[in-house]
Amino acid sequence: MKNIFIAVLLIHSMIFAQSINKKYFVEEKISGGSSIVGEYNTVEYSIKSRDEKLLYKISNKTDYDIPYSGIKVFNNGCSVLISAFHGTLTFYTNNGTKLKEIIIRENVGVEYERSIKSVVDVNSLLISYEDQSKNPSMLQKYNYSGLLEKSFEIEETNINGLAYSESLNQIYISSVVWDNSGTTNKIISLINEDGYLLKSYIANFEMGFFTENDQFIAFSNNYLLSINAENLEISLQNELAKDELYLDVIASKGLIFAITAKLPKLKSGKWFYKNPTIIKLDSSGKLIEKKEVEVNSFSEFSFMKTNEFLRFSAGSEIIAVE
């Protein structure tokens, strides 16, 4: 039962995208069309600045049945390729030169079911992982050049969300636990960099970020919350109807903007949405404005923020938000 639930959780976590990184974003292009053992696909990662300028590309050749690597970009333009299957981290300079490859622990083996959660804050990388053969989970902190700065065990398992603020010394870990009756419970644990538990919440998230005024905002498919990072109290909780999803969330000028949509349809391996809804909230969660926008079906989307404007891209269409 647990493995089935985790699989469903992972599938759902792939439905939405993110626009949390402030300076850079990554475009992925997969080619190869492999279908049998011995064939390969190639993933090309294009690291771009928010004004669409290409910094560099990374090409990663992968066996047809191996999960693709994820990638994170640091504020200085360096990046790290994260392979949960191999248990490796490959660091690159800000011109795309491979710097080093390391393994997350000694004698790590390949593993299809391994999950590595990761988050970058400025020029630090935080990862959490658990292996089928090793308990409890591990939390590690690296700098942008691949130097391991901290590594310690944490009690949380079945982690589905990770957020980190180095300046606030706060790490939010979202996990799912089962009690003796088999009931699932969703918990957020707030710890510091020494692993000390600061607070726990009955809540859950998959993506999270911090605002300039020390507000932690996080969301999953149908749940949005905000925590005051100073007094550690929840200031906003909002749950959508079962037939709706949060696509993306961002904060701007003291307000919270969310994009929602009805459940998508799967076509050619991609989720397609129609007619997103723009929701504007104040910091306490009070609804200011809600507007549905008619657009053609789209599978790629993200917020686009400049000094003056906030827009949302839905496929080829650009929607003015503020």
Chain-wide mean pLDDT for the chain?
87
Please tell me the predicted confidence (pLDDT) of residue 86.
93
Please tell me the predicted confidence (pLDDT) of residue 22.
65
Residues of the chain with pLDDT > 90, as a percent, come to: 61
Counted domains in the chain: 2
Within 10 A of 51 (CB to CB), how many other CB atoms are there? Answer: 6
| Predicted confidence (pLDDT) per residue in 14-29, tens digit | 333 344 446 888 988 8
Q: What is the torsion angle, in degrees rounded to the nearest 10, for the CA atoms of residue 154, residue 158, residue 91 and residue 166?
A: -50
Query: Domain span at residue 290?
Result: 243-322
pTM, full prediction? 0.87
Distance CA 187, CA 174 (A): 6
Residue 276: name the closest of 308, 309, 301 by CA.
Answer: 301
Kindly state whether residues 265 and 121 are assigned to the same domain: no
Residue 290: name the closest of 313, 315, 256 by CA.
Answer: 256
Pick from 189, 214, 239: which residue ends a domain? 239
Kindly state whether residues 286 and 217 are assigned to the same domain: no
Task: Classify residue 77 as left (phi > 0), alpha (psi -120 to 50) or beta.
Answer: left
Residue 133 binned pLDDT confidence (cut-offs 50, 70, 90): low
DSSP character at residue 273: B
Query: Is position 310 within any domain?
Result: yes
| Predicted confidence (pLDDT) per residue in 204-232, tens digit | 999 999 988 889 999 999 999 999 999 99
On whether the CB atoms of residues 236 and 246 are closer than 8 A, the answer is no
For 2, the token pair is 């647990």
Kindly state whether residues 229 and 273 are assigned to the same domain: no
Kindly state whether residues 60 and 178 are assigned to the same domain: yes
Pick from 205, 239, 273: which residue ends a domain? 239
Strand 207-210 to 215-219 pairing: antiparallel
Q: What is the mean pLDDT of residues 298-318?
A: 86
Please tell me the predicted confidence (pLDDT) of residue 209.
93
Q: Is the pLDDT of residue 32 over 60?
A: yes
Lowest mean pLDDT among 37-41, 164-168, 253-257: 37-41
| Predicted confidence (pLDDT) per residue in 264-306, tens digit | 999 988 899 999 999 999 888 889 999 999 999 999 898 887 7
Q: Any bridge partners for residue 130, and if so which?
A: 115
Kindly state whether residues 41 and 91 are assigned to the same domain: yes
Please tell me the predicted confidence (pLDDT) of residue 37.
74
Kindly state whether residues 281 and 261 are assigned to the same domain: yes
On whether the CB atoms of residues 215 and 232 are closer than 8 A, the answer is no
Please tell me the predicted confidence (pLDDT) of residue 18.
40
What percent of the residues of the chain are helix, what percent strand, and what percent coil, each to the nearest 5?
A: 5, 55, 40
Please tell me the predicted confidence (pLDDT) of residue 214.
86
Kindly state whether residues 41 and 114 are assigned to the same domain: yes
C-alpha neighbours within 13 Å on the C-beta side of residue 73? 25
Distance CA 125, CA 146 (A): 9
Kindly state whether residues 249 and 221 are assigned to the same domain: no
